[in-house]
Amino acid sequence: MTFARAFAPATVANIGVGFDILGLAVQGTGDRVEVEFRDEPGARILSIEGDGGRLPREADKNTASVAAQAVLDTIGAQRGVGIRLYKDLPINSGLGSSAASAVAAAVAVNALFGSPLKKEALLPACMEGEACVSGYHADNVGPSLLGGITLITGTDVSQIYHMPVPEALYLALVTPAVDVPTAQARAVLPKSISLRDMVAQTGGVARLVDALYRGDIAAMGMAMEADCVVEPARAHLMPYLMEVRTAAKRAGACGLVISGAGPTLCAVCESDAIALACSVAMKAVYDDRDIASRVQQTQVDRTGARVQLYE
């Protein structure tokens, strides 16, 4: 094979109360990467589409090429690869854009060399890519690579656990045209919290895990909104957060939280019809205030990253 193309889905990290330890993959949207052999060693960016010229082309600064290089190093490749990155995810959107690029690149390079590594073994390379922009953690790369809803307790694949995905779980996403860089969103977080808040936060995570195992989406929504640490610190970065939450709940949502670092907001719903109604209601909040936004009704992507090969 001389050419491989991979797709990695968007993600909703944290799922509200589970900061840096919970995430889910989203159907229908993500980044694509095409890779081809080069005689020169190493990973190189050949082109990027969809980023408006905002992403770095240097191999050591782009998440896709850093992840690709990590795969090359792991398998001891003598040949290099050229990378074409197609950004379908907006940058700084809270949908795991940088992680999706890293994951797609790692999966594509591995496939191009005959898949010497199992999918799970690509996690370190994906985290190397993510680390160059937002830190060495797996709350986005884990679900993007492996799919489903994941509980992440460390940086090794053995520390990532697949949670049950309720059959009737639907998501409504709204992304306003506002940049919230991950570094900015992390900078506003408190350096310490009270014992009372720690107990409340861990209790919220426990309730969320319990709701997932019982398939109780109403309880899931309530537990997701139990975040008393991260959302209060970041709320001012999300335009009209409370207004959008109110609109979504009036349309039938069980709960609404910030997706990752934001500004995308994610509502959990019990049917596709409710998710559609929530999308319309959430977009109307921004339309009324002359803020452009895009919405999506979707479900959890259970597959994660996937690849196609070409002669």
List the catalytic residue out of 182, 225, 231, 298.
182
Residue 147 and residue 202 in one domain: no
CATH number of the domain to which 214 belongs = 3.30.70.890
Q: Which amino acid is located at 217 in the chain?
A: I
Domain termination residue (choose one: 137, 163, 189) = 163
**Residue 199 falls within a domain, yes or no?**
yes
Alpha helical stretches, state H, 135-234? 141-146, 182-187, 195-214, 217-224, 230-234
Residue bearing tokens 């195992």: 213
Cα dihedral sign, 48-54-60-64: negative
Residue 201 and residue 149 in one domain: no
Q: Which residues pair with 296 in a beta bridge?
A: 173
CATH number of the domain to which 135 belongs = 3.30.230.10
Which pTM value belongs to this model?
0.94
Residue bearing tokens 């490749």: 77
Domain termination residue (choose one: 111, 140, 163) = 163
Which residue from 78, 74, 75, 67 is spatially nearest to 45, judged by alpha carbons? 67
**Residue 238 falls within a domain, yes or no?**
yes
Which residue from 18, 254, 268, 306 is spatially nearest to 165, judged by alpha carbons? 268
Residue 20 and residue 59 in one domain: yes
Residue 151 and residue 194 in one domain: no
**Residue 48 falls within a domain, yes or no?**
yes
The pLDDT assigned to 310 comes to 64
Distance CA 251, CA 281 (A): 7
Residue 117 and residue 227 in one domain: no
The pLDDT assigned to 59 comes to 93
- Beta carbons of 283 and 174 less than 8 angstroms apart: yes
Number of Cβ atoms within 10 Å of the Cβ of 256? 27
The pLDDT assigned to 220 comes to 97
Q: Number of folded domains in the chain?
A: 2
Residue 148 and residue 184 in one domain: no
Residue 150 and residue 40 in one domain: yes
| H/E stretch holding 247 | helix 241-250
**Residue 309 falls within a domain, yes or no?**
no
- Beta carbons of 281 and 251 less than 8 angstroms apart: yes
Residue 146 and residue 125 in one domain: yes
List the catalytic residue out of 130, 225, 231, 270.
130
Domain termination residue (choose one: 113, 133, 163) = 163
The pLDDT assigned to 240 comes to 96
Distance CA 144, CA 126 (A): 10
Q: What token pair was written down for 123? A: 């996690």
Domain that holds residue 212: 170-298
Q: For residue 36, indicate whether it is catalytic.
A: no
**Residue 310 falls within a domain, yes or no?**
no
Residue 65 and residue 117 in one domain: yes
Q: Mean pLDDT, 10 residues at a time, over the chain (311 residues)?
A: 92 96 96 95 96 91 97 96 96 94 98 96 95 84 97 89 96 94 88 96 97 97 97 95 98 97 96 98 98 97 89 57
Q: Up-side HSE of residue 79: CA atoms within 13 Å toward CB?
A: 12
Residue bearing tokens 């940049």: 179
Cis preceding linkage at 263, omega within 30: yes
Residue 130 and residue 210 in one domain: no
**Residue 303 falls within a domain, yes or no?**
no
Residue 156 and residue 257 in one domain: no
Residue 144 and residue 244 in one domain: no
**Residue 177 falls within a domain, yes or no?**
yes
Q: For residue 182, indicate whether it is catalytic.
A: yes
What's the distance, Cα to Cα, between the start and end of the chain in Å?
5
**Residue 307 falls within a domain, yes or no?**
no
Q: Which amino acid is located at 258 in the chain?
A: I
